[in-house]
Amino acid sequence: MKERVLITGASGFIGYHLIEEALQQNLDVYAAMRKTSKVDHLRHFNIKYTCPDFTDPNSLKQELRENKYDYIIHAAGVTTARSQKEYNQINAGYTRNLASAVLESGIKLKKLVLISSLAAVGPLNSLTGIITEQTAPHPISAYGNSKLMAEQNLKEFPSLNYSILRPTGVYGPRDRDIFIFFKQVARGIEPYIGKVEQKFSFLYVTDLAKATIRALFGVNHKTYNLSDGNFYNRYELAANIKEVLNLTTIKFHLPVNFVKLIAKVSEKYSSLSDKAAVLNIEKVDELMAVNWWCSIENAKADLGFYPEYNLKAGVAETIKWYKANKWL
């Protein structure tokens, strides 16, 4: 009999690839999502659907008792919200409710893996360092703070078997966030904020999916930073996109204060329309951070995590998918 895994946030970009990898590893997949989520892109998968209410611990307990999951991958959350309170309610609150429900339901869960973010740690202010699991967290955004709170909430349940994964900037087929930059470069425009020297890190989505499934069977109560193991300067993403597309661009640097002014206007407009701002001051601060390079040595040692894709290979695969699906 196949072991059963619940994947939350299953209709999203990362969720899709988690489903794909879980099925390849012969797991029985239950895809958790909102009732309003689109699922057309999941129809070809042999999976079951469920819509648990993460705001209602009693409803969650019933869900868990009925389906008796062996594993849970908690990838549900928001990357944009209207306030710190909203980020915390969803990213941190849902994590607490789920962990509590697991223990109160009495099911024999083997492992819960939380998809957190490197934003929970925050960047370094120096080019010379590297982020490790021992780096003291100092998130610089409401999103990062909510992810750190989610981790802390999970750690309040030591009798629960869990692992925490902190991926850096994740990209790949179906991504819509970094795709914005791909699209700009494809149009011949290569914009940057300021001229500060930076170190970025990236992770191709299928490598994240493989690491997540490995974590289901790994050691408990551990936290892992995840990237492709390399660092890249601020121009290398565009350079790889241009190489694959065989084009040249107009490169320009926008003044930091000008971009922050646009972000403030965006925040004001969003507050009036009661919608989350896509661009805000904190997002600018994260994009302008000096050093997002992280060590993956612990993930290598414990999970056997050796990423298959560096940025060049990952960008090539991503563009192939974007073109095949007429996104580019």
Q: How far apart are the first and last CA of the chain?
A: 43
Nearest to 109 by CA among 81, 70, 141: 70
Can you tell me the distance from the alpha carbon of 50 to that of 30, in angstroms, rounded to the nearest whole number? 7
The C-alpha atoms of residue 203 and residue 13 are separated, in whole angstroms, by 13
Q: 66-77: per-residue pLDDT in tens?
A: 999 999 999 999
- β-strand pairing of 189-193 with 202-204: unpaired
- Report domain extents, the chain: 4-175+203-227+293-308
* pLDDT score at 83: 86
Nearest partner of 43 among 63, 65, 70, 16, judged by Cα: 16
User: Rounded to whole angstroms, how far apart are CA atoms 183 and 179?
Assistant: 6
> 4-175+203-227+293-308 in CATH: which number?
3.40.50.720
Give per-residue pLDDT as tens, 104-121: 999 999 999 999 999 999
Q: Answer whether residue 272 shows pLDDT above 80.
A: no
Among all chains, which residue has been given the structure tokens 């999103």? Answer: 143
Longest alpha-carbon distance in the chain: 59
Lowest mean pLDDT among 13-17, 86-90, 263-267: 263-267
Residue 238 has pLDDT above 80, yes or no: yes
DSSP 165-217: EEE-EEESTT--STHHHHHHHHTTEEEEES----BB-EEEHHHHHHHHHHHHT
- DSSP conformation class of 35: T
Q: What percent of the chain has pLDDT over 90?
A: 87
Cα gap 168→198, rounded to integer Å: 15
Residues 8-37: tens digit of each pLDDT: 999 999 999 999 999 999 999 999 998 889
